[in-house]
Amino acid sequence: MSNSAVLPIATVGEKILDRQAQAVTEFDHSIQSLASDMLTTMIAANGVGIAAPQVFSSVAMFIMASRPNPRYPDAPNMSPIVVVNPHIIEASTHMELAEEGCLSIPGQRIKIWRHAQIKVQYHDLNGNLISDTLVGFIARIFQHEYDHIQGITLLERSKMSEQQPETVN
């Protein structure tokens, strides 16, 4: 990561955040370099995840790297995972309401409903297909970053989230 750069972060209103990202077709040095820069950028901004569109790159890739930090003091520790061309295969009916922040919406926290558990598939940086089941905070990070590559911002998700019935816990 010594050659990694801190990239500018797109904020709400930037067109790139409203577009669906394109699938990665070549797992080459450029995608690895982008992942390294994204991780450096996310750490510098005290994030627990970052999607390529947030750094002005319209590719279907994001990083999840939960760890306690000033923005998320109670976040669980996990090694960074680079997620390429992700899909949510299955989602629990059980939803949880929690506060989220977003590097593209500095200084704001918004309560969002998310699936408590999801089954996912994605590729790693070498193009290997990974299947996993995620729960709790890690599932929340995946869903948040997945929204970014679908062109859905936290503000849009919050409008969708308001429609969740009060009886869901």
Q: How confident is the model at residue 33 (pLDDT cuts 50, 70, 90)?
A: very high
Average pLDDT of the residues in 60-88: 93
Q: How confident is the model at residue 164 (pLDDT cuts 50, 70, 90)?
A: low
Res 133: pLDDT: 98
Residue 79 in domain:
yes
Which structural domain, as residue segments, surrounds residue 99? 15-161
Residue 166 in domain:
no
Q: How confident is the model at residue 80 (pLDDT cuts 50, 70, 90)?
A: very high
Residue 125 in domain:
yes
47, 62, 35, 134 alpha-carbon torsion, rounded to 10° = 80
Residue 6 in domain:
no
**How far apart (Å, rounded) are the C-alpha atoms in residues 53 and 93?**
29
Provide the CATH number for the domain around residue 23. Answer: 3.90.45.10
Residue 108 in domain:
yes
Res 74: pLDDT: 86
Residue 154 in domain:
yes
Q: How confident is the model at residue 162 (pLDDT cuts 50, 70, 90)?
A: low
**How far apart (Å, rounded) are the C-alpha atoms in residues 64 and 78?**
8
* Residue among 69, 14, 19, 23 at smallest CA distance from 42: 69
Average pLDDT of the residues in 122-144: 97
Q: How many domains does the chain have?
A: 1
Residues of the binding site for Fe cation = 102, 144, 148
**How far apart (Å, rounded) are the C-alpha atoms in residues 56 and 134?**
27
Res 169: pLDDT: 37
Task: Find the range with the poorest average confidence among 6-20, 89-103, 115-129, 153-167.
Answer: 153-167
* Residue among 100, 101, 143, 94 at smallest CA distance from 122: 143
Tokens representing 3 are: 């050659």
Residue 167 in domain:
no
Per the residue annotation, which of 100, 145, 156, 162 is the catalytic one? Answer: 145
Please give the C-alpha separations between residue 40 and each of 2, 90, 139, 143, 155, in angstroms, as whole numbers: 9, 31, 22, 21, 25
Residues 21-57: b if buried by 16+ CB within 10 A, e if exposed: beebeebeeebeebbbbbbbbbbebebbbbbbbbbeb
99, with CB counted inside 10 A (0-12, 13-18, 19+), is exposed
Q: Is 90 a catalytic residue?
A: no
